[in-house]
Chains A and B, each alone.
Chain A
Amino acid sequence: MSALIKFVLATMALILFCVFFCVIWLDRLALQLIGFLALSMLLASKRGFRGWFKQVRILLPFTFTLAAVYLLFGLLKVSDPSGARAGLEFWSVYGANRIMLLLSSVLAIRVCYSYVSFDDLLALPIRISLLKYVILGKLLYEAAFSSYRQICFYQSLIPSLQVGGQSLKSRFNFRLASLLALLYYIIGEAKLKGELIDNRIRHCHQREE
């Protein structure tokens, strides 16, 4: 199957998912659950149970946060979107739908585009001036994942961070600084790699220019 057809099919599948699950079936909990289970099975068949679990595990903090917020709404009897006072029953169903949708949406993107490889993206009939952003995106994605652990290691080598205990505040600050360092690094790499790619394009794709 050609790269373009794969990409179009994946995009159409995602659009269909959005139309049905985000609009038409938004408040149908049973269908949201079926959607989540179906997407889980598809992802597990592609990447194995571990791949599925890894993906869901990343989303767990957001899921718990959302659940906590809706629980709070229910306990405080916050008004529903129509303005009427709503209790725990309303907010638990409302929240469950949205949480299922959040999980399903991420899985849907993963499943749809798991059929499109990076080589397929490179083979798409688009100008190199646009394709370079795809290439750069992949390079930065890989750089981010490979460097985060090293950043945490270097942070542990800062003397004043070797004094403090394991309080919530110190752990939070540690993580925040790690993410900031990662951001600095990615911005720096984007500039550097972007220039290298531009230079390569100038020399190898002169006709397009």
Chain B
Amino acid sequence: MARLQGVSSDSGTGAMLIEAGSYPIWQDFTLWVEYELEFRQGGFYHLTGQNGSGKSSFISQLLLPRLLALPHRYVLYLEQQMHLQLFTVKAFSAMNKANPILADESMATQFLLKDLKKSFDQVPRDSYLIMDETLYIDSHLAYVRQYLQTCCIIYTSHQSIQPEAESIIFEPVSVELSKVYVRPD
């Protein structure tokens, strides 16, 4: 099972490891991580594979729980369809008297990114930004590169392929199993 590497509270020095092995994600679906995966601060990772290969499941069932279990870190997750997340962010921003009132996903994601920057400026910590088929991914990347250079960015996208990103491939072996590995250089 995944072993959590200690993540220091100093920004830019931590990494999160997911050890090689089989990870049962759902009742009839397993992810097989061929070699250890390392997510470093300042790193840039593109999870790629066909639809149904387990990218979103990897994020929601494996990556996020482990990141949230780390002490002294920021985790920002922008998911594919922000339906319920949008209401959550709207409520939070309303209670914090944000102006203007958030009307759509674009405003909500901008609010969250600014919230991440503000939190980091006040208390620097290791930061992880995970984007799962998010709209406007290029503008989000530009913002993070400008204001949060040490942030670890992990994203999935069929449209936006960033050449400098390290590709992590999700390859279906069967209906019940997908293999996960880093694309060789």
Contacts and interface: CB of A to CB of B under 8 A. Distances in A.
Specify whether A and B are partners: yes
B95 interface: yes
Contacts of A15: none
B25 interface: no
Interface string B66-77: 001000011111
Interface stretch (A40-48, A117-125, A151-159): A151-159
A37 interface: no
B141 to A, nearest CB: 17
Q: Main SS of the interface on chain B?
A: helix
Interface residues of A, number: 24
B76 A163 contact: no
A154 B85 contact: yes
B85 A163 contact: no
Interface in B66-109: 68, 73-77, 84-85, 87-92, 94-95
A93 interface: no
Of B77, B91, B116, chain A has the most CB atoms within 10 Å of the CB of B91
Given A163-B119, A180-B94, A180-B95, A158 B89 contact: yes
B173 to A, nearest CB: 30
Contacts of A158: 88-89, 92, 112, 115
B112 A180 contact: no
Contacts, number: 67
A184 B115 contact: no
A182 B122 CA distance: 30
B99 to A, nearest CB: 16
Contacts of B116: 159
B134 to A, nearest CB: 13
B91 A159 contact: no
Contact of B84 (A151, A156, A173): A151
Contacts of A11: none
A176 B95 contact: yes
A159 B119 CA distance: 7
Contacts of A157: 68, 75-77, 85
Nearest to B74: A159
B76 A160 contact: no
Contacts of A150: 84
Interface of A: 147, 150-151, 154-163, 173, 176-178, 180-185, 188
Interface of B: 68, 73-77, 84-85, 87-92, 94-95, 112, 115-116, 118-120, 122-123, 127
